[in-house]
Every structure is written in structure tokens, then in C-alpha cells.
Structure 1
């Protein structure tokens, strides 16, 4: 594994992660998978996504049950088992509770994970059994993650235990490759985060996985936590993070110098019936993007009447506006023959209309989730490409300020303010 930094801008960096014949441009998004495969996107549809769609995050814990590690190992690893020869596989396990278990798997403690068969405690021996069988392109050591509100003593214990597990994982690594990410923990403690980073950097690792974020830390203190870690890590090694998935959080991580992100955000929107529509460029505001008018967010052109207004509680209700996403279950899309986003080149937008996706959702057809997942991942990959371009042009700070200054708060306005749009929505709902 080789990592090269190509450009810097306001603390953010763009680079290239090279693994044999495969290459990733960073910062980038790792696609969420379940047992190595996307939830709703088939193999042939992966090619319709951007290049980043071939970088996936898997959990080794999922392969401790069905299929068991020995089955995957017999086939030759996860790439061959799932026919992902052109994909970069990053194996990362998240432990969200850190329950203790004495005498399991040859270690005093094990990390607790939620699995399809219930909660399971896993130690380094079992964990590395899965990693050695999967043979991913990159893998992170076993973490002991605890919530931010845990006691200082528990945070110290998490750092010590994670370092111990890192040493054990390295000794149990059958391949002895250079594709190991050392995990940095420490919860909401700046001192423990710093100690974890310094100690992990002393080990023989090729990069770092910043773990334990998104578990209750205060947003205002997150920047200081990231700084305490990044300042104590070597610049020439790649950095991965779990727990920062929403656009504003991603920008915060990129500004700190993080390279790889795994996020449930695109798939979570899909499962709730939402489609991403937020703008991706400071310079180019196409018709499908939202703009402010009279202090409220509206869309341009022929989207003005049918841009995701959600009407509830009858005619006296306000109109629910969110310029970052569309509720595709809303009746306002019932007769809308436009794509989700005009100009979007994803398969869903090129081949299908909002009305069709709305129909699929309301008849509970699984194809709806497939199309929404394709669009949401394509849109989020485009967001990461826009980030890389802003860094290459040394405009990242301007891009971040522009993006975060846009109002993404849910706004409710008087229906009379936009009577025409509101009445169109009522008419569609009644018909």
C-alpha cells in the first residue's frame, strides 16, 4: 500500500491511495456493505456508479457466522468469494459498547458487537481469524470504543486495551502485509486521544483509523479532539475515520486532514425514502438546485411548483422545506415526470422519473430502494469529487464556508406564502 499527498488547502489534503493495480483518489467515501455487498445494488449496477463505488467497507465480525471464515478462506478470500476483483475492500469493525468478558478467545477481554445472532464478544484471536480468511486490501485492528460520557478511567482503559489488541493483531497477522490501520480511541478526552495517537504511531502500521466518533461527543469539542489526534500522526500515512457521515461532518473531517470515510448516511436516506438534491458547486447553480427567494428556499424554473413540499395535517398545515433532500413518498411527486436531479448522470435519474420512484415506494417495491441507493451514492460520490477539486484548486475553505452557510434547517412557512405551490400539492394528493 502506498499513499501520496498531491495537494493541500486550509488543512485539507487530496491524495492517492495505491494498492497494486487499484487506486483511490482521496478524500473518498467507502461504500457501506452487509457481509461484503451493498444492500440494494447488484454487481452489474456497481459499474454505473463512479470509480469510488468500487471502494467498500466490510465488517470482519459479519463473517464469523455465515459464511464462516474457513469457507471464505477456501475460496481464496473475500474478493473471489463475492466476485469483487476490481474493488478495494477495507475491513473495519466498530465496537460501540465495549463490554467486558473474561477468558474469551485466549484474552482477558473481548469487544462486544451486535450481530444477526445477537450480541457477541470477540477477542483478537477470533477477529484475526476472520481478517486472515477475508484477505482485505486494508484492515483496521480491533477497537475498544466507548461512549463519550464514559468515565476518564474507562477512556484510559480503552486506550490501553486497544493498544494491547493492536499488538496482538499484528502478531496474529498471517499475511504479514503492510495494509494495517492502527486504531486511535480515547472518547472525548483530548489527553487520551493524544496518547492513543502517539502510541499507535510508534507501531508498525501503514495508516490510522480514528475510531469512537459519533458516540455522544459534543460537536463543539470534536474539532479539538480531531486536532489532538492529527497533530500527533505522521503526514505520509493514510487516515480513516468512522462516525462522521453527514456532509457537514465530512467537511469537518476533511478540514482536519482525514482521507477515508465510511458513512451510513446515503443508505439511511434511502431507507427513509429520501433523495439527495443538495448543490455541489459554488459556481454552477443548475435549475434543479435550490435558491433563496424572499428569505425562503425555493427551486428554479419548472421545479418551483413541485419541489418536495410536504403537506401535513390538512389545509391549515405549514409547508415543510428541506433544500438538501426530497421526500420521495410525498404526493407532490405523483405526477412529476422530472428526474430526481436534472442533469444527474446516475442510472436512476437517466432512466426514471420522480413519479415512478414515488409509485414504487408507495407500493413497497424493493426496486425503489435500489434506484434511491444508486442516486444517493452517486450524489455523495459527486460531493466527495467536489471536495477533491476544491482542494486541488486551493479553494477548500471557500467551498466549506459556502456549503455550510446554506440553510439546511427544516423550515415551516405559511402555506399562503406560496399558495400556488401549496394548492398544487393538495390537488395532487386528492387525485
Structure 2
């Protein structure tokens, strides 16, 4: 019999929580950051190296994988875990966010979305039922409901209509998902920046019943202040005994602020995308390795970091390989960023367990305010 999906809340400190999500493919320590493996790969990284950074779970992208190489092909080849050589848990998004961003290429109805592929212009139909089928074929451990990600800004009546459509789709997703022991289905709260809509959405989702709950429709351009205002109340509307997932977040200070407000899971392309463009995250804030100030600097990015980029290479070397377009630049800077993100999650989990999360937050912001090391 498949091991059941389970969430054990182990400690709280204020609203911040730490625990363990148990799945058939291993445990996920929370708060958890999920690196994004859009097309069955975390760009510039081997799966075993992603694991070495401390990642317990990856995110795969329904929209991209349904277009290439197709969910049916992945299923025939043994499922997404086998296909990409990642044996630990995988969460797949529903495709709703990508479809939202294709405004000029899509048509939205009650039934679902008809859209043209950005790859070859071919026409596709994505419905709650088809999204559940694709995610089943991929073999995802955690499946997301199909929803319409409300764009920002949205008028109150537009946001309400969008949220209620997502709630009808949530019920259809639940019905289509069925009974799949060992696999989990998460509902997605919508409602933009409107508190009453968030409340209505949460009540709808709780009445349907899910294994976990996501806060959707944030990190879509509203800015950190507005996002935090919603997170001050939105997670509290969701069941305390189930994981809470903030979709598409974010920068390190976004993540710390979200955890402080009761969020357990996050994902973002930022650490890997930034690595490829020369932006590096450290305890003292972000730095750009492309800047000339690094070209003669023999010091590591961060002398306290144990990732291969910091252990074995100087800023001068990393500046050189970035400037010359060498592939090793993307590999090392992405590894560093993912390592930094996972180390941040570990530090938060420890702080919550030990009842010192407020002090952790103060130290985090104080250290970041120092800025990068002075030039030599």
C-alpha cells in the first residue's frame, strides 16, 4: 500500500511554522523552497547537484511539458521522475499561470482555455480535467488544481468573477483527480488583493477538501508591500493542519516575510535565472559578478558559503567566465544561488524550532543592509 501524504507540524514561533511533509518519495522539510525545473531540468544543474544543495522537492511545469515532449511521451518513458532522473518528490503546477501570460494567444471560457502553443502555433485545450490527466501522466506527487491566475491590477468585479471561476474549476479538478493514494491535490486560493474575496475562496476550497492549500494570484506585479498585506491574513484563512504554499515567490526577503506570515512552501525561478545572468545572492544582499570591481578580486563570493563556487573559485574567475560566456559560469552561479536559498530555509527551520525566529529576522535584515564587501 502506498504511503499516505501527511503533514506533521513540529514547531511554531509566532505565525512561522516548521514541519515535515511525508510522501511516498521522501520527506519534505518545511519551510521548503522548491527549485523550478520548468522543462524537466533545473537549468545548468545536474539533478544530484540540486539535491546536494539541500532541495527536498522540485517543481515541474505542466504547460511546457504538455507541449514538449508531451505528457504521453513522458508517461511511456516511465514518468517524470524517471525521465529527469529525480527520485524525490515533484510538484507540478497546473498550467494556469503560463496560460494567463499568453493573453494574446488564448480564449477563456467556462469549460477551460483554448490557446496556441508559443512553440509552433498549434492549438491546445486545457481544462481542469485535462490538467489533472496531464499531471497524472507525469506522475507528480503533488498536483495543483487548474485555476485562472487573476492578473494584477484587476478591478474588484473582474477579480471576483475570476476567483469564482477558479473555485468552480477547483471542484472539477477535485472530481477529476479522484482517489490516488500516495498523491496529493492542492487547492489554490484566489481573490487578488481583496480580503472578502480571499475569505470566500478559502471557504470554498475548505468545503471541497484538499491535501494542501496554495495562496495564488500574488507575486504578479503588486509589489512586496501589497503582497505582505494579503499574507497578513490570507494564510490564516486556510487550515492550520495542512501545508500552505505561496506560488512564485521569490526574493530572499520575500521568502523570510512569507514564512513569518505562516507560509510553508515556495517556488521561484529567481535563483537559477539570476545565476545565468550574473546576479548572486549572499547574506549581505545581491551582487552582480559582471561588474568590473570583481575582475581582480581573489576572494570568494562569500567566505562562509560551502558551495563549490565559493570553495574553489575566486570572484575574479567567476567574473571572467561570466564575461566570456563560458557555460561553467551558469553552472557555478546557479549552484551558489540554490545553495544560498536552501541554507536560508535551513536557518529558518532551526530558528523556528528554537523559538528565535524574531531574532533571526532582525539579524537577516541587518546583515543584508551592510551590502557587499568593500572592494579591495
Structure 2 length-normalised TM: 0.89
Q: Deviations over 1:166-189 (max 9, x none)?
A: 122222226634500001111111
Q: Deviations over 1:43-66 (max 9, x none)?
A: 34334322x2x4111111112111
Q: 2:358 aligns with which of 393, 397, 411?
A: 397
The runs of 5 or more residues in structure 2 that have no matched partner are none
Residue in 1 that maps onto 2:248: 243
CA–CA separation in structure 1 for the residues paired with 2:216 and 2:298: 43
After the TM superposition, which residues 44-193 of structure 1 pair with which residues of structure 2 at under 5 Å, given as runs?
44-50=48-54, 52=55, 54-85=56-87, 87-92=88-93, 93-95=95-97, 96-97=100-101, 101=107, 108-110=111-113, 115-117=118-120, 122-173=126-177, 176-177=180-181, 178-193=183-198
Compute the displacement of 1:410 (Å): 8.0
CA–CA separation in structure 1 for the residues paired with 2:186 and 2:28: 16
Residue in 2 that maps onto 1:326: 287
Residue in 2 that maps onto 1:29: 33
Q: How many correspondences in the alignment?
A: 364
Higher Cα radius of gyration: 1
Compute the displacement of 1:14 (Å): 0.4
The runs of 5 or more residues in structure 1 that have no matched partner are 279-322, 412-417, 425-431
Q: Deviations over 1:276-333 (max 9, x none)?
A: 221xxxxxxxxxxxxxxxxxxxxxxxxxxxxxxxxxxxxxxxxxxxx41232122332
CA–CA separation in structure 1 for the residues paired with 2:235 and 2:288: 38
Residue in 2 that maps onto 1:371: 332
Does residue 361 in structure 1 map to residue 365 in structure 2? Answer: no
Does residue 352 in structure 1 map to residue 352 in structure 2? Answer: no
Residues 227 and 325 (structure 1 numbering): CA distance in 2 closer, same or farther, change over 3 Å? closer
Residues 251 and 333 (structure 1 numbering): CA distance in 2 closer, same or farther, change over 3 Å? same
- Greater RCO, 1 or 2 (C-alpha within 8 Å, sep 6+): 2
CA–CA separation in structure 2 for the residues paired with 1:240 and 1:353: 37
CA–CA separation in structure 2 for the residues paired with 1:112 and 1:182: 23
CA–CA separation in structure 2 for the residues paired with 1:252 and 1:184: 19
The two structures, once aligned, show a CA RMSD in angstroms of 2.5
Residues 219 and 113 (structure 1 numbering): CA distance in 2 closer, same or farther, change over 3 Å? farther
CA–CA separation in structure 1 for the residues paired with 2:280 and 2:198: 36
Structure 1 length-normalised TM: 0.78
Alpha carbons 1:97, 1:146 under 8 Å: kept: no
Alpha carbons 2:150, 2:217 under 8 Å: kept: yes
Residues 175 and 396 (structure 1 numbering): CA distance in 2 closer, same or farther, change over 3 Å? same
Alpha carbons 1:61, 1:130 under 8 Å: kept: no
Residue in 2 that maps onto 1:14: 18
Matched position secondary structure for 1:148: coil
Residue in 1 that maps onto 2:208: 203
Residues 391 and 134 (structure 1 numbering): CA distance in 2 closer, same or farther, change over 3 Å? same
CA–CA separation in structure 1 for the residues paired with 2:205 and 2:196: 14
Compute the displacement of 1:197 (Å): 0.9
Residue in 2 that maps onto 1:256: 261
CA–CA separation in structure 1 for the residues paired with 2:240 and 2:358: 20
Matched position secondary structure for 2:237: coil
Residue in 2 that maps onto 1:306: none
Alpha carbons 1:243, 1:263 under 8 Å: kept: yes
Compute the displacement of 1:148 (Å): 3.1
Residue in 2 that maps onto 1:265: 270
Residues 115 and 138 (structure 1 numbering): CA distance in 2 closer, same or farther, change over 3 Å? farther
Residue in 2 that maps onto 1:292: none
CA–CA separation in structure 2 for the residues paired with 1:397 and 1:171: 42
Alpha carbons 1:12, 1:254 under 8 Å: kept: yes
Matched position secondary structure for 2:174: helix
CA–CA separation in structure 1 for the residues paired with 2:330 and 2:233: 40
Alpha carbons 1:98, 1:111 under 8 Å: kept: no
Residues 180 and 352 (structure 1 numbering): CA distance in 2 closer, same or farther, change over 3 Å? same
CA–CA separation in structure 1 for the residues paired with 2:108 and 2:342: 43
